[in-house]
Amino acid sequence: MLLVTDPLENLDETRDEVTEQPKPRHRGIYLLPNLFTTAGLFAGFYAIVAAINGRFEAAAVAIFIAMVMDGLDGRVARMTNTESDFGKEYDSLVDMVAFGLAPALVMFTYSLKTLGKVGWVAAFVYAAATALRLARFNTQVPTFGKNYFQGLASPSAAALVAGLVWIGADKGIAGGSLVTVAFVITILAALLMVSNIRYRSFKDIDLKGKVPFVTVIVVLFAFALVSLHPPYVLFFLFLSYALSGPILTLLHLRQKRRSRKHSGGDGTGSSS
């Protein structure tokens, strides 16, 4: 017995399948986190312009403002669930300007230019180290987990350079008088960025969770301490953080050597 199907009925089913296909989504970018990133870009650009005009204190402060914006854009993106590949790439480009080119040019204009070719080479080495640091961060799988950075983060390196400029400008010290210290700080920050030394990232701090009351007091004390004299406090704070990596690494290596000696001694004693 033959069954005859209606071709119009099959045509209706085909139409239903076509209409059920998902419509293509319009591509766009999240506004809120990228606003903070753009603010960081503006601060970095402003630092360069201010340094060209001889306003070194404003240039240094602008770099620290860019650091605050850089810390906020990632936090806002994670808290509002607006993370995107565009935001990550945009953030890296802004970091290169705000924490690579801006500190290098500010330091060169303030102090390193008195060294001539050696000065601009030192500034270039810092800028190149920042680019290498950002490229490695974007491409490599984290070796030490999310709680640690491999090498000094570019915002912390920029804080070292900008902090020294801020101290000099605040005290009215000419850049030529600090050229030796400026050269050492610039090269040191560049080498630490491309090193394999690990640094604490503080990404494990939960801002949304509850904290003990003592933590609030500590935060208030920290703000009060910074307000006493921001240039000195911020510079020595980030200098301590930059030196903490090599110091902790040396202590860790010493503990490893001691543990190996103890294990070797135990093995020798047990076999005899």
pTM comes to: 0.81
Res 49 pLDDT > 90: yes
Higher pLDDT, 10 or 83: 83
Return the pLDDT at 272.
31
Return the pLDDT at 118.
95
- Mean pLDDT of all residues in 133-148: 76
Res 225 pLDDT > 60: yes
Rounded CA-CA distance 272/270 in Å is 6
Return the pLDDT at 5.
52
Phi, psi (5° rounding) for residue 21?
Answer: -65, 140
Higher pLDDT, 184 or 17: 184
116 in helix, strand or coil?
A: coil
Domain map of the chain by residue range? 32-250
- Structure confidence by residue, pLDDT tens digits, 56-78: 999 999 999 999 999 888 888 88
- Mean pLDDT of all residues in 89-104: 95
Nearest to 190 by CA among 111, 109, 121, 237: 121
Instruction: Answer positive or negative: Cα dihedral of 173, 179, 180, 184.
Output: positive
Tokens of 19: 């209409």
CATH fit for domain 32-250, picks 1.20.120.1760, 3.20.20.70, 1.10.8.10, 1.20.120.1730: 1.20.120.1760
Helix 85-96 × helix 31-52 angle, to 10°: 10
- Structure confidence by residue, pLDDT tens digits, 76-94: 888 888 888 888 899 999 9
Tokens of 40: 């960081």
Res 113 pLDDT > 90: yes
- Structure confidence by residue, pLDDT tens digits, 237-253: 999 999 999 998 888 88
Q: Specify the range with the lowest mean pLDDT, choosing from 21-35, 85-99, 123-137, 140-154.
A: 21-35
- Residue 142 CB contacts under 8 Å (≥ 6 apart), including other chains: 148, 150
Question: 69 exposed, middle or buried (CB, 10 Å; 0-12, 13-18, 19+)?
Answer: buried
